[in-house]
Structure 1
Amino acid sequence: MNKIHFEEKLEKSLSLMKERNMWELNYAPPLYKRLWKKGYQIPPPPFASVWLNTLIFGMYFSIVWGGLLLALLLLLDIFEVKIFLMYSFSAGILFGISMSIYHLWRRVVNQLPEWDDL
């Protein structure tokens, strides 16, 4: 998809969600705004696929949670690589799946069309 076509669809989808009185943090979270500014052509969370949302939210949460967990484990002097990786990965997967389900539910509740239909 070319950049101009994507930006038109993005603007149309953002205005549609604003008309439906959705919270801006739901349809344009700061993480997605950063990705859009860097040139990534991903649809807003309610229009993205479940797997894409799981991947994006899960990876981000896994990194942030992993950093906090690493600091805590080092502070308590109980750091083990296996536990650290297992907890970070598990938390990321669970958070990603839950956010994907939430955004899928928001798409259904607000009767939003599919991304390809915009």
Structure 2
Amino acid sequence: MTDAEFKRKTDKAFALMVETGLRKSQRVPFTYRVLWSMGLKLPPALFNNFGANLLLLSTYFSVFYGLIMWFITWHPDGMSPSEAIITSLLAGLFYGVCMAAVFRNRRKSKGLPEWEEL
């Protein structure tokens, strides 16, 4: 996808989200703002498919949740690294499934088209 096409699609997507009355916090989650600032061309969360949202948000949550919990709680309490990794992966999977479902349901409830249809 070219830069011009990506810009056109994202502009149209944001215009549609504003039309439907979505607040800014509902239109662009923090994770996506960070990834966009790094130059990644990802569709907005509401227009991304379920699997892509699941993978992206699960990975993001697992890494940051695992690191924070390791240094604050798990390591001082004597949790093994393998236990910590499994726990953070499961927590990330749960978070990813929940958030991907929220984005899909919000897109459908607002009548927003798929990314490919923009």
Identify the TM-score tier after normalising by the shorter chain. over 0.9
Q: TM-score, normalised by structure 2?
A: 0.93
Matched residues in 1 for 2:37 and 2:68: separation?
26
Matches for 1:16-31 after TM superposition, within 5 Å = 16-31=16-31
**How far does residue 14 in structure 1 lie from its aligned partner after superposition?**
0.9
**How far does residue 2 in structure 1 lie from its aligned partner after superposition?**
0.4
Secondary structure at the counterpart of residue 103 of structure 2? helix
Secondary structure at the counterpart of residue 75 of structure 2? helix
RMSD (Å), alpha carbons: 1.1
Q: Can you give the 5+ residue segments of structure 1 that lack an aligned partner in the other structure?
A: none
Matched residues in 2 for 1:29 and 1:84: separation?
26
Equivalent in the alignment of 1:74: 75
Large movers: runs of 4+ above 3 Å: none
Matched residues in 2 for 1:8 and 1:38: separation?
19
Secondary structure at the counterpart of residue 88 of structure 1? helix
Secondary structure at the counterpart of residue 75 of structure 1? coil
Q: Contact 1:28 / 1:44 at 8 angstroms: preserved in 2?
A: yes
Matched residues in 2 for 1:26 and 1:52: separation?
18
Equivalent in the alignment of 1:88: 88
